[in-house]
Each structure stands twice: as structure tokens, then as C-alpha cells.
């Protein structure tokens, strides 16, 4: 690149006019993210008002939902609109901040999948010790640890210079921002290795825990019909199954993000599976919470829902 024509943050600028493809991607991103935000709010409302979720699982699910909601809002108020407008005067710090804020929330959401998997493992394998293990102190400690971990991870972009990432509306994805014209790489070293570490710990670790839990469920199914047919165990299995499906979808999206590696030229499939894939699975997570749990369906759609399942706002 010619040094005289180099402009820092040019990757974050729009093309100056919106094509039909820009409008399609922009409106889809905005619509899906707004829908996901609405779904996340409903999830938090259900967790707050249903006694069935006033436990460690519900707390972890709420923290994860906050992560999803934060990311959804960034998509709705920044990513979608700048894709539609394709403006050419986006300040580089704004684009970088939007990415880092979104990444912080996404990181919280991703790692909380691991906490939820561990929670289901204890619920299925060690039900008698469940409440003593997942006490209030541990739950709050896990949430704070994940939050501080997410903030620390974001600071790596400042510790190691020339590794910033931001959303490029021309490319419909997060792209690497060159800090000098003659830089011999077109990718962020921090992101390249950070994505891989997060994938290994969160997604692979979650997969291992879920595999062990599944084996335990099969063992109980074959050895103790009474336990397997109990209401509490079936509920644990249902929540476990729900979590597994969500983990599989998150693993697919995380793997797609690693493969795309913040490239500027990626296919439509790559965009939908990696960047926009996040808000698609957030919509699925919110919908599955509502429609796959009978407690939630009764509360939202059954006017005769008993007061014993509801916690009033004064409590």
C-alpha cells in the first residue's frame, strides 16, 4: 500500500452508497438482532418470575442471556445501521469500541455455556450434592470471574499493538485494522490465537462435560427406571438436552469465526455462519427457553397459570 494514501481505520468505512446487497444484509441484521433482544428480555422476565428458575441454573442462564442481550444491542444500534447507511466518516475509535464491547458480551455468553454444562453435570450425576455445591457464593463468584476474564481478554488488544479489529460495513464482518501501510500481515495476532484458545476451552470443554453427562443419563436409564421417570430427573434431562443443542450451534459458529479469521472477502455462507450466526443462535436460545420449557409456556400462554409458580415483583 502507498504510504501517502494510507488512512488508519479505512477498513471500518462504508462505500459511500448502499447497494441492494448492503440493504439486504443491513435490514436482516437489524431485524434479527432486535428480535433477539426482545427474546432475551422475555427470557430474563421468565427467570425473574418463575420459581423453577430461582436456582443456580437460572442464575447462570440469566448471566448468559445478559451476554447475548448486550451483543444483540450492538448489532441492532451499530452493525445493522452502518451496513444500511454505508457512511464514510465513521471514527476509528467508535468502530473499535463497538467491536470490543460486543466481544466482551459474546465472551461472557460463550464461557457461561461451560458453566451451564457443569451445572447440568452436577444436577444429573450428583443430585444430592447439587445445592451444597452451587451455593450463592459460588454462583456469584463464577459470574464475576467470567466478567473480569472478559475484560482482561479485551485489554490484550491494547497490550499488544496493531491488533485491533472492527466491523467493516463493506464486508459485513469484523476485519483487521492495519496500523501502518507496509504491515506484512492482514490479520490480528491477538484474535487469531484468542479465538482458538476460547474455542478449545469453552466449546471443547463443554463438549467433554456434556458427553460425560450423557453417559450418566444413559446409565440411569438402563439401571434405574424409578429415577429416570421422576419429574425432577426428566426436567434435568430436558434442560441438559436444550443446553447441548445450543452448545452444538455455538460450536459451529465459533469454528466458522476461526476459519474466516476476520478476512475481508468471505462468502455469504461464511457471513451467515460466523458473524450473523451469533444473533441467529441467540434467537434460537431465546425461543427454545420459551417453547421447550412447559413452565414458561404455561406462564406466558395459560391465563389460568397458578400463583404458586409465580414470584410477585415485591419479593
Distance between CA atoms of residues 254 and 300, nearest Å: 32
- List, in order, residues 6 or more apart from 138 with CB less than 8 Å away: 56
Cα-flanking dihedrals φ and ψ of residue 165, to 5°? -125, 150
Distance between CA atoms of residues 130 and 146, nearest Å: 21
pTM of the model: 0.85
- The full DSSP string for 65-99 is HHHHHHHHHHIIIIIHHHHHH--S---HHHHHHHH
Per-state percent for the chain, helix, strand, coil, to nearest 5: 75, 5, 20
Q: Which pLDDT score, from 0 to 100, does residue 8 have?
A: 87
Are 38 and 45 in contact by the 8 Å Cβ rule? The answer is no
Distance between CA atoms of residues 80 and 29, nearest Å: 5
Q: What is the pLDDT along the chain (315 residues), one digit of tens a residue?
A: 555 677 888 999 999 999 999 999 999 999 999 999 999 999 999 999 998 899 999 999 999 999 999 999 999 999 999 999 999 999 999 999 999 999 999 899 889 989 999 999 999 889 889 999 999 999 999 999 999 999 999 999 989 888 999 999 998 888 899 888 888 888 888 888 887 777 777 888 888 898 999 898 888 888 887 877 788 888 888 888 888 887 888 788 777 777 776 666 677 776 777 667 778 888 888 888 888 888 888 888 875 554 445 544 433
Pairing state between β 173-176 and 165-168: antiparallel
Closest CA to 191 of 170, 215, 162: 162
Angle at 155 between CA 152 and CA 160, to 5 degrees: 130
Amino acid at each position: 500500500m502507498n504510504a501517502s494514501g494510507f488512512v488508519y481505520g479505512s477498513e471500518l468505512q462504508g462505500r459511500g452508497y448502499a447497494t441492494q446487497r448492503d440493504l439486504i444484509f443491513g435490514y436482516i441484521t437489524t431485524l434479527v438482532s432486535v428480535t433477539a433482544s426482545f427474546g432475551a428480555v422475555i427470557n430474563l422476565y421468565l427467570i425473574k418470575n418463575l420459581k423453577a428458575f430461582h436456582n443456580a441454573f437460572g442464575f447462570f442462564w440469566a448471566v448468559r442471556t445478559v451476554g447475548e442481550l448486550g451483543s444483540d444491542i450492538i448489532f441492532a444500534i451499530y452493525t445493522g445501521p452502518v451496513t444500511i447507511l454505508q457512511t464514510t466518516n465513521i471514527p476509528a475509535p467508535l468502530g473499535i469500541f463497538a467491536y470490543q464491547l460486543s466481544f466482551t458480551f459474546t465472551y461472557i455468553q460463550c464461557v457461561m455455556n461451560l458453566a451451564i454444562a457443569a451445572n447440568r453435570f452436577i444436577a444429573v450425576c450428583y443430585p444430592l450434592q447439587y445445592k451444597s455445591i452451587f451455593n450463592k457464593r459460588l454462583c456469584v463468584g463464577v459470574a464475576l470471574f467470567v466478567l473480569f476474564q472478559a475484560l482482561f481478554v479485551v485489554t490484550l488488544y491494547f497490550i499488544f499493538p496493531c491488533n485491533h479489529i472492527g466491523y467493516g460495513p463493506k464486508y459485513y464482518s469484523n476485519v483487521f485494522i492495519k496500523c501502518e501501510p507496509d504491515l506484512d500481515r492482514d490479520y490480528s495476532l491477538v484474535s487469531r490465537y484468542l479465538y482458538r484458545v476460547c474455542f478449545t476451552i469453552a466449546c471443547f470443554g463443554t463438549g467433554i462435560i456434556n458427553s460425560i453427562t450423557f453417559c450418566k443419563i444413559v446409565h440411569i436409564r438402563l439401571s434405574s427406571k424409578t429415577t429416570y421417570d421422576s419429574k425432577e430427573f426428566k426436567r434435568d434431562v430436558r434442560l441438559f438436552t436444550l443446553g447441548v443443542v445450543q452448545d452444538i450451534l455455538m460450536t459451529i459458529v465459533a469454528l466458522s469465526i476461526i476459519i474466516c479469521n476476520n478476512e475481508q472477502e468471505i462468502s455469504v455462507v461464511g457471513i451467515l455462519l460466523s458473524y450473523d450466526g451469533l444473533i441467529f443462535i441467540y434467537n434460537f436460545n431465546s425461543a427454545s427457553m420459551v417453547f421447550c420449557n412447559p413452565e414458561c409456556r404455561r406462564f406466558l400462554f395459560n391465563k389460568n397459570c397458578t400463583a404458586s409458580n409465580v414470584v410477585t415483583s415485591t419479593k
